[in-house]
Structure 1
């Protein structure tokens, strides 16, 4: 098989990994922020911070995954 052929299952796997990383990191940030808000009684502050940090972490992990996918380094 040629190495540049398209594989639909690899593409579906990449999309699944991207979506699960984004959703997972955002959820961890939201629930972590809610936990800290309840602990220190600062209602929306840590929720918003956790959401933004989770989103940034998810985007960073997504970019690393895409870079490793297209470079051929599969770990």
Structure 2
């Protein structure tokens, strides 16, 4: 890869990581709010959705970084 392509790769990686973290968190929040409205259990599903969304985002980020670093073997 040439030197000119590295800044764009860095931008792409950063954008992907931010998408994992923000996207899964937003989906978790909206899903939790919908479940709270459906069952009338405010704010429990919202909090659960937030935590699940954050956990999914962090897991996706770690998986992506491991794939990019070439550390995809399991011990």
Please indicate, yes or no, whether the TM-score normalized by the shorter chain is above 0.5: yes
Structure 1 residue runs without a partner (length 5+): none
Size of the aligned set, in residue pairs, is: 71
1:22 maps to what in 2? 21
Hey, what's the Cα distance between the residues in 2 that align with 1:8 and 1:16? 12
TM-score by length of 1: 0.86
1:65 aligns with 2:64: yes
Structure 2 residue runs without a partner (length 5+): none
Poorly superposed stretches of 4+, deviation over 4 Å: none
Secondary structure, in 3 states, of the residue corresponding to 1:43? coil
1:41 maps to what in 2? 40
Secondary structure, in 3 states, of the residue corresponding to 1:7? helix
Q: Tell me how large the CA RMSD over aligned residues is.
A: 2.1
TM-score by length of 2: 0.86
Q: CA deviation at 1:72?
A: 8.4
